[in-house]
Amino acid sequence: MPPGLRLRPSVLAARDKLAEGRAKLRIQHDSGSPGIQVCARLTDLLDTIVLDLYHDALDEVGNDLESVIALAPYGGYGRRDVAPYSDVDLMLLHKPGADTRIAPFVRRLTQDIVDAGLDLGYSRRTPAYACSLAQADPTIFTSLVETRYLAGSVRLFSQFMTKFRKMALRRSHALIAKIEEARQGERNQHGDSIYLLKPNVKRSRGGLRDLQMVRWVGFARWGEAEPSSLVLAGHLAPWDRSKLQDAREFLLRLRNELHFHAGKPLDLLDRHEQVRIAELYEYEGDENLLPVERFMRDYIEQTSYVRYCATHFVESAKARHGLVKFAGDLFTHRMEGDFRVGPRHISVTRRGKAKLRSDLSEVLRLMDLANRTNTRIHHDTWQLIRESMLESTSIQLSPQAVQRFRSLLDQPGELGDLLRRLHEMRVLEKIVPPMAHARHLMQFNEYHKFTVDEHSIRAVESATEFQNREDSVGRAYRKVKKKWLLHLALLMHDLGKGFSEDHSDVGARLAGETATLLGLSDDDTETLKFLVQKHLVMSHLAQWRDTNDDNVVIQFAVDVGSPEVLQMLYVLTCADLAAVGPGVLNQWKLDLLTQLYRRSRAHLAGDISPEDEDRWLTERRDILNRLAKSEFEGDPEWWRRQIAEIPRNYLLDCDPPEILERLGGLADLPVDRAVAWGRWLEDRKAIEFMVGAYEGVTAGIFHRLTGALTSSGLEILSAEIHTLADGLILDRFHVSDLRHSGEPPPERLEQVCRNLESSLTTKSSSRPSFRRTWNRQSAAGPEAGRLPTRVRIDNDTSEHYTIVDIFAHDRTGLLYTISLAIFDLGLSVHGAKIGTHLDQVVDVFYVTFQGKKVQSQEQVDEIRTRLLEAISAAETVTNA
């Protein structure tokens, strides 16, 4: 007999009632009912079900217990804003000594609730024990703040609430500190920024948890959790309450939709859900913005209000504690005429308020003073400035205001936080107007983690953090003379996004307009426009081009024009990458950028001439020949020929003993064998594999090696194909290991080396198998904003090679597919670089056809067509 048929009639009735009730609520939700209303009706439904089961259990096993127990919902269920598939949290209060007596009733009730299909969160406590637990654990305290009476002894429940409220008021200072600490830990786990592009609507900053924190802190400080009561008592501003109510409705309706659509608890607003809900809510797009970008703009607008209101409320609650308030009143003093500075806050006099409404110079002076005194701007003052900025369509930017802003930009300390606060108060857009368009502007791709405005401010922040670094980028930042200009360029580098044109071109135009507004000199204006327009160039060259090619470096250096601008562009590029998200500016990318920076600077500053570099390379080869003659046996002429063919970048990267050791491994290599070495590069957090063989060992060496590496669970970062004398090849790959986060064990390197060797010596034409890696981004992302596969052929950059750039969505085995197609086209690969651009990987190949660059347009077209076909066919197989 199926288990469901053995359930008691009351449980079966409860299951039916729950299913029918949820279905009706789903219809109401879909028809546009407010989120708060749906949550309240769901709470009523749950109350009915729980009470039915409660009374049924009492009738059977405990009809004399109601005087010693009280049933109390808590958490979201207690607050009456429970989501469709959230837990049902219940506390059974009981009098001391009643444990044994109520045990059969408890077993029956809890089992029936679970059998009815509800996810039960249950606790059984005496009032004293509940208060004791709440005092020690902020999670328990905050859940019990939301407790309400449902059934049982009203007197027992009232006794608990009286005791609980007294405990909270008595220990409010410590409880508020614990609530803050717990909430910060939750934000750290789920997102400590309102500008996250995949937020958790419940737990990320500005989400429902911050709304609830107002209730929890209000109860801890004043014994009141309801915002309406806090407003009446003067603890919460009516404006704040109104904004919090609007945000609560927005977030609850959104959360209900996530739950109903998933049919289970779901609070993560990922890209798929963003696209779906934007369409459901009938957001419209245009040539500049997608519907999903408009929806997320509204989401971030709502959560920004929550973040600010909640933060201010908590600060106010702490400031109004007796001793704190007394100290604040006692030690508040006037400073610089119109400002009043206390231990925690800075505010303005009545005369100062009038100035703040219309004089940006005074606002900037206030910000500077707040920074110097390490105080927060008082909420009333903050609100005054913000409302004045919103009401003013135009506000005069005086020379004094411009000078104060430039002075602020010139000081690295706390600059990111100052800019963020100016942005929140709507002041920054009066000085840098394009910030208004960038506000809460989403970048709908997997590459960026923050909105345009937040990314821009974080880029400035990242640059200021270089101040304390002892590496090349730290030294470069400290040497920048016009830091204000660098910081302004960082603030503006992405503000051209959200328009139909290329964002670098739009950004340069906006930079020119802003420079005019700020009264910049012609030279500073041109530098600002150049840095904004070319902010991607250095990153693209370092990651996608051979920076050992003199033509690449010289052309880049000529475009930049001066060592000072190069220095700023280098720092800007590094800061831009660092601001994308944690780990994006890794050591690997930093080394590539630094190499390009140093080579370009040598050309611009005349530190090293091309003749000096040629002389150094000749001396390096002479050293290798002397060491080979003295320390290695064999034909000296063989060594001389091989050393003469060692490529420039290998001579630069490796020490002479290491180079000779690798060549020694090739000295007696049979023509039908291959040899491979692997080592961990700690400074780059990557693995280097080198493979030596004769060209005739097999056809299609490059695609076989990429297949061996990828099928071994390795992600290829770069590849170099070196042809030495006598038909010997020495290929070098830098990879990251998807199976190990740090240095892999020696046996792992040995196994990969064996795989590389066998890929060239085993006579097999079968395709290698690639294990699916679930932790990598799926190629089948949302269609909205999905970039097309592109193949770009560059015959201009390199003197000797045709460069093939391939932009495609990543998937396992992609590089093998491309390199096999290149082999089938009869092309020889001489080098490869692998990078990322937005949601795509960028595979770059340096190729020749029969030893020369691809010349005919017909062949160029064929290469493009065949590569697109190969990638499309592979994607079809992958997604099937």
Q: What is the pLDDT of residue 599?
A: 87
Do 61 and 159 have their domain in common? yes
Is residue 642 included in any domain, yes or no? Answer: no
Do 141 and 24 have their domain in common? yes
Q: In the structure, what pLDDT confidence band is assigned to residue 4 with cuts at 50, 70 and 90?
A: very low
**pLDDT above 60 for 786:** no
Is residue 637 included in any domain, yes or no? Answer: no
**pLDDT above 80 for 329:** no
CATH of the domain at 275: 1.20.120.330
Do 425 and 439 have their domain in common? no
**pLDDT above 70 for 385:** yes
Is residue 864 included in any domain, yes or no? Answer: yes
Q: What is the pLDDT of residue 772?
A: 47
Contact partners, residue 747, CB within 8 Å, separation at least 6: none
Do 227 and 239 have their domain in common? yes
pLDDT, average across residues 236-249: 93
Pick from 452, 761, 484: which is nearest to 576 by CA?
452
Is residue 636 included in any domain, yes or no? Answer: no
Between 614-628, 639-653, 830-844, the lowest mean confidence (pLDDT) is in 830-844
Do 123 and 223 have their domain in common? no
Do 78 and 166 have their domain in common? yes
Tell me the per-residue pLDDT of 560-581, one tens digit each, with 9 for 90 and over: 989 999 999 999 999 999 999 8
Query: How far is residue 404's CA from residue 407's CA, in Å, rounded to a whole number?
Result: 5
CA 180 to chain centre: 23
Rounded to the nearest 10 degrees, how much is the dihedral formed by the CA atoms of 864, 868, 869, 875? 160
CATH of the domain at 393: 1.10.110
Q: What is the pLDDT of residue 651?
A: 83
Instruction: Find the domain containing 281 and state its range.
Output: 177-317
- For the chain, what is the radius of gyration of the CA atoms? 33
Do 497 and 398 have their domain in common? no
Q: What is the mean pLDDT of the chain?
A: 88
pLDDT, average across residues 696-710: 90
pTM assigned to the model: 0.78
Question: Which of the two residues, 780 and 131, has the higher pLDDT score?
Answer: 131
pLDDT, average across residues 75-80: 96
In the DSSP assignment, the letter for residue 39 is H
Q: In the structure, what pLDDT confidence band is assigned to residue 188 with cuts at 50, 70 and 90?
A: confident
Domain count, the chain: 5
Do 196 and 312 have their domain in common? yes
Contact partners, residue 863, CB within 8 Å, separation at least 6: 791, 793, 804, 825, 827, 854
Is residue 613 included in any domain, yes or no? Answer: no
Q: CA 317 → CA 168, 209, 222, 230, 426, distances in Å?
A: 13, 17, 9, 11, 26
Q: CA 539 → CA 460, 556, 796, 804, 838, distances in Å?
A: 17, 12, 19, 18, 13
Q: What is the pLDDT of residue 193?
A: 62
CB crowding 39-61: b at 16 or more within 10 Å, else e: bebbbebbbebbebbbebbbeeb
Query: How far is residue 647's CA from residue 645's CA, in Å, rounded to a whole number?
Result: 6
User: Which string of DSSP letters, residue by residue, matches 608-671?
Assistant: S-HHHHHHHHHHHHHHHHHHHHHH--S-HHHHHHHHHH--HHHHHHS-HHHHHHHHHHHHT--T
Pick from 620, 658, 271, 192: which is nearest to 445 by CA?
271
Per DSSP, the chain holds a count of helices (H) and strands (E) of: 38, 16
Domain boundary among 170, 203, 226: 170
Q: What is the pLDDT of residue 324?
A: 47
Domain boundary among 403, 429, 455: 429
Do 92 and 39 have their domain in common? yes
- The answer to whether the CB of 105 falls within 8 A of the CB of 61 is yes
- In the numeric block, which tokens belong to residue 835? 């990078």
Is residue 635 included in any domain, yes or no? Answer: no
Query: How far is residue 511's CA from residue 495's CA, in Å, rounded to a whole number?
Result: 9
pLDDT, average across residues 713-719: 84
Do 39 and 162 have their domain in common? yes
Kind plus residue range of the DSSP H or E element containing 132: helix 127-136
Do 153 and 201 have their domain in common? no
CATH of the domain at 111: 3.30.460.10
- Convert 351-378 into a string of H (helix), E (strand) and C (coil): HHHHHHHHCHHHHHHHHHHHHHHCCEEC
Strand partners, 840: 809, 837
Q: Residue 840, SS3?
A: strand
Is residue 844 included in any domain, yes or no? Answer: yes
CB crowding 81-108: b at 16 or more within 10 Å, else e: bbbbbbbbbbbbbbbeeeeeebeebbeb
Q: In the structure, what pLDDT confidence band is assigned to residue 765 with cuts at 50, 70 and 90?
A: low
Is residue 466 included in any domain, yes or no? Answer: yes
- The answer to whether the CB of 393 falls within 8 A of the CB of 399 is no
Query: How far is residue 228's CA from residue 234's CA, in Å, rounded to a whole number?
Result: 10
Domain boundary among 410, 429, 448: 429
The top-scoring range by mean pLDDT among 297-311, 478-492, 620-634 is 478-492
Tell me the per-residue pLDDT of 401-427, one tens digit each, with 9 for 90 and over: 999 999 999 988 889 988 998 998 899
Do 294 and 334 have their domain in common? no
The top-scoring range by mean pLDDT among 140-149, 802-811, 840-849 is 140-149
**pLDDT above 80 for 465:** yes
Q: What is the pLDDT of residue 779?
A: 42
